[in-house]
Amino acid sequence: MKAFVAGGGTGGHFYPAYSISEELKKRGFQVYYFGTDRGIEARHEFPSDKKFLFPVTGVRGKNPLKAFFSAVKLIKTSFQIAKIIKKEKPDFCLCFGGYASLPLGIASIITGTPLFIHEQNSIPSYTNRLLSKFARKIFITFEHSKKYFSEEKTVLTGLPIRKSIIDDLSISKEKARDKIGIENRPTVLVFGGSQGSRKLSEIALEIAKEMPQIQFILIGGKHFKKTKKVPENLMFYRYFKRMGLLYSASDFVISRSGASSTYEIITAGKFALFVPYPYAVSDHQYYNVRWLEQKGLCSIMRESELDVQKLKNIILKALNEDRGKEITEIAVKNPQKVLIDRILNEINKN
């Protein structure tokens, strides 16, 4: 069987597509991947038999002239992909939202190929809202998304997570700390998603100075340069490939609340303080985790409210409670399997 998969531009779309493709390859599928030549997919390998990158860009937020040319590129790319579909005859197309996946979605509509979409965030992207009208099934990460889609077509699957992360989550806390090279003591992980966060990096430095008894791990990303004096109890990385290992080593997490980070933290069973990115479209990062806070299984603090003393109190309280089992129990087990099984059931009806 053959599957066409699209999802890129940012890690939030790329990594779930990556995770699903790992499972498809494991099941013997041929996988063709479609993305943009300027997104994260241009810098990373993908588990596919063929990889197509096109010079497409988003349309929203641009001046009329740039938006027009971007739309022309999207349409042109859609017809190019339609030709590939007619030649290769995939069994289905699977899109993960964002402008990078729109051409494949349009091409599947043009050719009449079964289309499925996955929405990572609580509030759907414009791409998925458009494609949902033509999709056979709509897979969602969070219950909050249901109200935006057709009830009969929508399925809660959770978010597919890369096998490498799942494997590292099985490593004990002690062994994970040993692999990283840190002491076996209470540990807090701080990161701001795939791009990093200057604000979270700065607050991590302040808290580490105030809490010398605790080990901090900071993923600074591109926004943070190690020019300031770093406390001895803070281990700094610009980027770390094995996030699962860091989750395993940690007792508490401070993070943005993008869909991938949120679902990885839930799957790892870690209590977290989420600081939603304040400029996220429709404030979707807040809604990604509001339901979790309502269950008492995380804390949320707006960036403008960040305060060292409040953070210290939240961390100390969380370190004295073990909520890991409660948190992991609310995650959908094996999202990849659930999603692919539903696709196969759907296309085998005919």
**pLDDT tens-place values along the chain, 350 residues long:** 999 999 988 888 999 999 999 999 999 999 999 999 988 899 999 999 999 999 887 766 566 777 677 888 889 999 999 999 999 999 999 999 988 999 999 999 999 999 999 999 999 989 999 999 999 999 999 999 999 999 999 999 999 999 999 999 999 999 999 999 999 999 999 998 655 577 888 888 899 999 999 999 999 876 666 556 788 899 988 888 899 999 999 999 999 999 999 999 999 999 999 999 998 888 999 999 999 999 999 999 999 999 999 999 999 999 998 888 899 999 899 999 999 999 999 998 86
CB atoms within 10 A of CB 93: 27
Compute the C-alpha angle 184/188/193, nearest 5°: 135
| Locus of tokens 């458009």 | 130
pLDDT at 223: 61
Is residue 211 a contact partner of residue 234, using CB atoms and an 8 Å limit? no
What is the bridge-based pairing of β-strands 187-191 and 154-156?
unpaired
Angstrom distance (rounded) from CA 35 to CA 164: 22
In order of 4, 7, 179, the CA distances from 99 in angstroms are 16, 8, 38
Provide DSSP, 261-325.
Answer: HHHHHHHHT--EEE---TTSGGGHHHHHHHHHHHTTS-EE--GGG--HHHHHHHHHHHHT---HH
Which residues in the chain belong to E strands, given as ranges?
2-6, 30-36, 50-54, 92-95, 115-119, 137-140, 154-156, 187-191, 215-219, 234-237, 252-255, 272-274, 299-300
Longest dimension (CA), the chain: 64
Residue from 268, 336, 258 nearest 297 by CA: 268
Name the one residue in this structure whose structure tokens are 């699957």.
157
In the structure encoding, which two tokens stand for residue 238, read together?
A: 């610009």
At residue 4, φ and ψ (nearest 5 deg) are: -105, 125
**pLDDT in the model for residue 225:** 64
Distance CA 14, CA 260 (A): 10
pLDDT at 72: 86
pLDDT of residue 94: 98
CA distances from 140 to 49, 108, 317, 340, 343 (A): 26, 20, 32, 13, 14
Four-point Cα dihedral 39, 41, 42, 47, nearest 10? -170
Spatial CA neighbour of 320 closest among 217, 218, 251? 251
280-to-33, 38, 119, 285, 286 alpha-carbon distances in Å: 27, 20, 15, 6, 9
CATH no. for 2-158+333-347: 3.40.50.2000
- Would you say 121 and 284 are in contact if contact means Cβ atoms under 8 Å apart? yes
Contact 215, 208 (CB under 8 A): no
Give the CATH number of domain 164-329: 3.40.50.2000
Q: What is the pLDDT of residue 169?
A: 95
Domain span(s) for CATH 3.40.50.2000 in the chain: 2-158+333-347, 164-329
Q: pTM, whole model, 2 decimals?
A: 0.90
Phi, psi of 288 (to 5 degrees): -60, -30
